[in-house]
Chain A
Amino acid sequence: MKRLNLLKVKAQLRFFYFNNSYIQNPNLIDYFMTLNEVKLNTPCLIKQINDLDEKTKIRLMELGIVENTKIMIKARSVFKKTLLVVFNNSCFTIKENVANAIVVNYA
């Protein structure tokens, strides 16, 4: 329980740092992390995309990676540089820098 609370605080601070704005839900029931930190085969919901060049960000959105899209990591490569993700009934590979930029919470 204590560890979960610490994780929550850490994730919220990180979200605050990335966003520079507080999350709208004051109850803070959900806690946020980057897609890269999520376990394999665990569905989560996308909250937003940070820290990427505009071109890649737009392309991700156009592929359907937008707010509240369900996403799941199916596999990670050996050196964790590439991830295989499933969203909108499709499989895509993405790089770790992209996964680090996608903020999610558990579905």
Chain B
Amino acid sequence: MHKVLLIGNPNVGKSTLFNSLTKSHEHTGNFHGVTVEEKRKRITFAGEQYEFVDLPGIYSLNTFSFEEDVSKNILLKEASTKLLVCDANSLRRNLYISLQMNELGLEHKILINNYDYFLRHGGKIDAKKLEQNLGARVEIIDAKKIKLSKEILNIYVDNSTKMPIAGNTTKEQKIFANQKNDMIYSKNLQNNGKNLKISKISNKNASYLNKFIEIVKSKFNLSNEQIVFAFNGEFQNLEEEQIKFICTLYPQIIKARYDFLDAVLFDCVSVKKDFVYGASKLDKFLLNPIFMFVAFLLFFFLSIYVIFFGVGPLISEFLISVFNFVLINPVLNLLSLITNNMWLIEFFSGGVINSFTIVLSFLPQVCLLFIFLSILEDSGLISRLAYVFDDFLSFFGLNGKSIYIILLGLGCNTMSTLASRNANNKNLKIKTALVNPYISCMARLPIFVLVASAFFGTKSYFVVVGLYLLGLVVALAMSCFLNKTLLKNTESNLLLEFPPVRGLDFKHIFQVGKTNAVDFTKRVFGVVVSVGIIVWLLSHTTFSLAYTSTITNSILFFFADKISFVFVPIGLNSAGIVCALIVGIMAKELIVSTISISNNALTNSALMLSLTMASSAVHFNTASALSFLIFSLLYCPCISNLAVLKKEVGKFYMWFAIISQFTIAYLLSFVAYQGMTHGIIYPIIALVVAAIILFSAAYIIKKVKHPKCLTCNKCGKK
């Protein structure tokens, strides 16, 4: 089997290339930090097996964030064909890692992407000359349009690197040729890189790395391998004194590498003088904080309205009616013809079909949500948002990149917990992972829309928006708390490359919507239907294993009833509600299906009506409905999010997340329920909003009156 690694700087087109070659639909975006874990896909082509591996972006082997560690570990440990994907518009910086890979003897091929943009802006690359100068195969590609073929696989996966013959004798090529002779190369790269054999260095000509190796060797007795690995951030079996000394040489080594690159690129790459990759004429608006803040809020509120109160429900109702007409009604009719067994008919209609319908009813919303997110990602606006929101978020101990994680969290908290890997220090990563479960993911939206529509009528839109904002406020408050206590902020350096603002590729955007809808269906469908069936069985079976149509006699209700006393102060002490909340720990999508099974409601409108009826197993009044909404928003991450949390931040913080979320959810639900019951909820909300406004105003006034000294931030002036 041939293994192919795709490596390179962030946002150069690795994932796009991966999708094109493997016909996948992995998540891509015009933003640094979209891919945070390796993605693998095996394909068989012309009788041969290939495994393509897409890695997170990495600028250098001296890693700066956890996602870069992922790439470096795989690069050093897995024997494979390496394809270095570069962006033509920032070739000099992209090729830095190529030099480091050469130093470690990691043979690779260079693929230059986005060349059409570079050409349009007056740039030019002579690929053949670059190939000769670099001594590595160079190909110019279009990652979006490339198609897998035998010819391409022969070029990319061919393990022998043909060294080009130095052509004419320009000064730069002589320098290169001399250095190449002395450049360290590996003979055998084994699995973990430890058996890397470095050839003996010739002292004939000074090469950019050799002189530094000599400097280190004159002071310490270290092997070539150890020194070269240390120059690239791998300090295997080195003492602290040795590490310190080698680190002092880094600035000179980096300068030497860039001098070498400048010589190599001198006559191969021409760039227009005033060309700035990432700048856009729209930036005068897009970097204006007031414009971006207002535009973002408008976009956010508009998208919620369209998805959950506008187009989304219309498409859902259409889908469900088609589903009922084509499949459900004929199946039920057939069933009633075949058998009179009430249990079987109820099991199909109440258990199986109900669960299908619940998933189907929110599929269009999922599609639309990811389409809106994709519009932000593809356009390059996320970087601008990160820049604009960085000041605001750093007050809470986060940084601008967290805006991307918040937006991802609107789709799926599990994905956004994974994305916390793009943090460059441990405390920031843990903070980001712990606060993002408070952001309402799409799985909670069905609950909000259902309950809010049933109890708040025309004000349901404002209730849903209010819940989103509440989640955000609690997330920021928790981040603030963690920043002052457990996870004191080490300075977060937002080093973020600005991509250019690109036009929208509608085909790609709709593809994203479709892919995510399919993923959602695959991921959730099995869980929701199977758990829905289990919930139906438990809520329609007594302890003597007999069928019961009265849900209060069932096994599930018995256990839920025993613990419902805990929820009395927050008005959720009905056993049906407790069942739904317990099941919701598995996946939030299951809450609505559990309620609909408990209430025997087969359609959304019937379900909404049943929630208001005291005779239903699960019913609310306005106060308990609000309490339920707040509790569902905040109470516990779902099982998949907990699994990722444990992996990313450890057991201690996972339990911290569970306990803190449950406590906060309980407290806020208590305030909401008691406030609503005693008619003081609106004064409470007004007080809280006023406190936030006053606090923000006081902070802004303080900042304006006493700005931090720009020349020296140590003077301690207040």
Contacts and interface: CB of A to CB of B under 8 A. Distances in A.
Interface of A: 14, 34, 36-37, 53-64, 66-67, 74-75, 77-82, 84, 86, 88-98, 100
B429 to A, nearest CB: 15
B450 to A, nearest CB: 40
A93 B394 contact: no
Interface in B69-111: 89-90, 92-93, 96
Interface string B217-256: 0000000000000000000000000000001001100110
24 contacts: A37-B710, A58-B62, A58-B247, A58-B254, A59-B60, A62-B96, A66-B258, A74-B283, A75-B287, A77-B387, A81-B394, A82-B400, A82-B494, A89-B90, A89-B275, A90-B93, A91-B278, A91-B497, A92-B498, A93-B400, A98-B495, A100-B710, A100-B712, A100-B713
Contact of A86 (B62, B250, B279, B388): B279
B267 interface: no
Given A37-B711, A93-B495, 9 more contacts: A58-B62, A60-B495, A61-B255, A62-B59, A63-B495, A82-B390, A92-B498, A93-B387, A93-B498
Contacts of B90: 88-90
Nearest to B254: A61
Nearest to B247: A54
Given A64-B258, A66-B255, A93-B495, A88 B279 contact: no
A32 to B, nearest CB: 12
A89 B498 contact: no
B552 to A, nearest CB: 58
B493 A81 contact: no
B391 interface: yes
Nearest to B288: A75
Contact of B498 (A37, A58, A62, A84): A84
Interface in B464-498: 491-498
A79 B60 contact: no
Contact of A93 (B254, B258, B390): B390
Contacts of A84: 287, 387, 498
B503 interface: no
Interface string B524-557: 0000000000000000000000000000000000
Contact of B711 (A14, A59, A88): A14
A91 B387 CA distance: 12
B644 interface: no
Nearest to B500: A91
B491 A97 contact: yes
Which of A53, A63, A67 has the most CB atoms of chain B within a 10 A radius of its CB? A63
A61 B250 contact: yes
A36 B707 CA distance: 14
Contacts of A59: 59-60, 62, 64, 495
A88 B387 contact: no
B406 to A, nearest CB: 17
Nearest to B280: A91
Interface in B385-409: 386-388, 390-391, 394, 400
Given A36-B710, A62-B59, A92 B497 contact: yes
Which of A34, A62, A75, A98 has the most CB atoms of chain B within a 10 A radius of its CB? A62
Which of B92, B492, B498 has the most CB atoms of chain A within a 10 A radius of its CB? B498
A7 B226 CA distance: 48
A64 B498 CA distance: 15
B309 to A, nearest CB: 33
Contacts of B247: 54, 58
B201 interface: no
Contacts of B497: 90-92
A82 B493 CA distance: 9
B495 A94 contact: yes
Nearest to B123: A89
B60 to A, nearest CB: 4
B289 interface: yes
Contacts of A90: 90, 93, 276-278, 497-498
Given A36-B710, A77-B289, A92 B496 contact: yes
Given A62-B59, A97-B713, A89 B89 contact: yes
A55 B386 contact: no
A94 to B, nearest CB: 6
Contacts of A93: 383, 386-387, 390, 400, 494-496, 498
B493 A56 contact: yes
Given A92-B496, A92-B497, A98-B493, A34 B279 contact: no
B667 interface: no
Contacts of A64: 92-93, 258
A31 to B, nearest CB: 14
B703 interface: yes
A89 B276 contact: yes
A6 to B, nearest CB: 14
B577 to A, nearest CB: 45
Contacts of A80: 707-708, 710
Contact of B254 (A14, A66, A95, A97): A66
Contacts of A86: 276, 279
Contact of A58 (B250, B271, B289): B250
Contacts of B277: 89-91
Contacts of A14: 711
A88 B92 contact: yes
A91 B276 CA distance: 7
Contact of A81 (B64, B89, B93, B390): B390
Contacts of A34: 710-711
A89 B391 contact: no
Contact of A63 (B59, B276, B287): B59
Contacts of B278: 90-91
Contacts of B390: 77, 81-82, 93, 95
B271 A89 contact: yes
A56 B279 CA distance: 24
Contacts of B96: 62
Q: Which 4 interchain pairs have the tightest Cβ spacing?
A: A91-B278, A91-B498, A82-B390, A79-B391
A7 to B, nearest CB: 11
